[in-house]
């Protein structure tokens, strides 16, 4: 992410001392402009049951502002390099705030203040992710040819794939639309086709 010219790069002084940053952003307009705002959303884990939009993390909101925690990798001039966020390429970031250890809650506090339907995520009850056929070798070749924009080694890209898919990022709409269990998702410059069982 590179600062716009109107922002003086001196505002980044000292930021590199933090390991993580909060990114405040506007949800990617191109992906959300044709989606109507809904007051109730069906989170994937509820199998069709709806909750109020403010009780979910849906991007289809009355105010399209989002918040994401990211690992701060490095800063070069006016450019901030980060990883592990859930932003889509081209998403406008409107502010950066340093992540402070007091921002976090321990697991006991989280468990006491989390809806029952999300406790599975708090307890890290994750899906198992495996590569099929030649897919691991194909990924290694893509990386060795420098075809990815954000990752240049297999271990890092493989970890990102693992972390994304083990959380089961499917909406109820997606699950209903693809009853055969074959899906695709774009991640960096990859188009990943996968199945669930």
pTM score of the predicted model: 0.58
Among the four given CATH numbers 2.40.30.70, 3.20.20.450, 3.40.50.720, 3.40.50.10800, the one describing domain 1-106: 2.40.30.70
Q: What torsion do the CA atoms of 170, 174, 178, 183 make, to the nearest 10 degrees?
A: -50
pLDDT in tens, 7-45: 999 999 999 998 899 999 998 755 555 566 778 888 877
User: What residue ranges do the domains of the chain occupy?
Assistant: 1-106, 126-197
Summarize the confidence of residues 164-169 as an average pLDDT: 76
Q: How far apart are CA 185 and CA 59, in angstroms?
A: 17
Residue 122 has pLDDT above 50, yes or no: no
């Amino acid at each position: 992410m590179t600062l716009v010219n109107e922002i003086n790069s001196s505002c980044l002084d000292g930021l590199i001392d933090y390991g993580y940053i909060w990114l405040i952003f506007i949800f990617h307009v191109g992906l959300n402009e044709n989606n109507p705002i809904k007051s109730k959303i069906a989170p994937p884990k509820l199998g069709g049951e709806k909750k109020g939009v403010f009780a979910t993390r849906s991007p289809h909101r009355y105010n399209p502002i989002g918040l994401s925690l990211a690992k701060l990798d490095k800063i070069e001039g006016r450019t901030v390099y980060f990883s592990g966020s859930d932003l889509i390429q081209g998403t406008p970031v409107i502010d950066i705030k340093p992540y402070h250890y007091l921002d976090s809650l321990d697991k006991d506090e989280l468990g006491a203040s989390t809806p029952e339907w999300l406790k599975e995520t708090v307890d890290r009850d994750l899906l198992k992710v495996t590569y099929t056929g030649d897919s691991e070798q194909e990924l290694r070749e893509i990386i060795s040819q420098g075809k990815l924009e954000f990752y240049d080694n297999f271990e890092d890209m493989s970890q990102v794939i693992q972390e994304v898919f083990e959380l089961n990022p499917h909406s109820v709409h997606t699950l209903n639309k693809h009853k055969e269990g074959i899906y695709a998702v774009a991640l960096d410059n990859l188009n990943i086709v996968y199945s669930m069982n």
